[in-house]
Amino acid sequence: MSSRTASISRETSESSIELSLDLDGTGRSSIHTTVPFYDHLLTAFAKHSLTDLTVHAKGDIEIDVHHTVEDVAIVLGLAIKQALGDKSGIARFGDATVPLDEAIVQAVVDISGRPYLVHTGEPTGFEHHLIGGHFTGSMVRHVFEAIAFNAALTVHVRVLGGRDPHHIAEAEFKAFARAFREAKALDPLVEGIPSTKGAL
């Protein structure tokens, strides 16, 4: 089996990012984005998707965390796409429902080659909440959008319930991680690429 790894460096006037991952890891991570709550979310993604992930990023957070958060998500999506290769032998689909105290989120992932995001259910006002005093709730959807479009994934995320913004955001990332873990898994019963078209 060939290695399902990727390493990408990306530098713009707004951010500088070095990211590497191993889709067949154990969930180890070293995350330093200068945005503490984002580090927390990406660490949870790595842990629960069993993806080894290293991220070192810095950006113009004195303006806003937006550029750094978005750019890391873009690079993560690109790295996932690169590491998946031709997607031969993968399960392709994943579905997970994850609770975090009062919050509960369902995520469904299709490694389809077709970028699409459906994201629903966050409570009114969530998008304006500053989680940890610096991470705007609206960024959660933005991250999933950037990952889905750059990794060419179809992703559905549904917040089924929740009150605390920290819990909701973290449950979203954990649900996505568990669904992605199922979808990227190598299935011994799958021969070749799991699509009637012969390509994903």
- Parallel, antiparallel or unpaired: strands 130-131 and 135-136: antiparallel
- Do 64 and 3 meet the contact criterion of CB atoms below 8 Å apart? no
Lowest-confidence pick of 4-8, 129-133, 182-186: 129-133
Query: Among candidates 6, 131, 133, which has minimal Cα distance to 143?
Result: 131
Q: How confident is the model at residue 139 (pLDDT cuts 50, 70, 90)?
A: very high
Mean pLDDT over 1-10 rounds to 90
Q: Smallest Cα–Cα separation from 186: which of 43, 20, 47, 4?
A: 4
Sequence-distant (6+) residues with CB within 8 A of 156 are 106, 107, 108, 117, 118, 119
What pLDDT shows up at residue 1?
55
> What is the band of 161 on the pLDDT scale with cuts at 50, 70, 90?
very high
H helix intervals, 85-187: 138-151, 165-184
What are residue 25's phi and psi, to 5 degrees? -90, -160
pLDDT one-digit tens code per residue, 60-74: 999 999 999 999 999
**Predicted local distance difference test score (pLDDT) of residue 145:** 98
Would you state the pLDDT for residue 200?
Answer: 92
Q: Say what the pLDDT of residue 2 is.
A: 73
The mean pLDDT value for 18-47 works out to 98
Sketch the domain layout of the chain as residue ranges. Answer: 5-184
| Mean predicted confidence (pLDDT) in 123-145 | 96
CATH class of 5-184: alpha beta
Angle, CA 25 vertex, CA 197 and CA 187 arms, to 5°: 35
| Cα(104)–Cα(168) distance, integer angstroms | 7
pLDDT at 9: 97
What percentage of the chain exceeds 90 in pLDDT?
Answer: 96
pLDDT at 142 over 60: yes
pTM: predicted TM-score of the whole model, two decimal places: 0.97
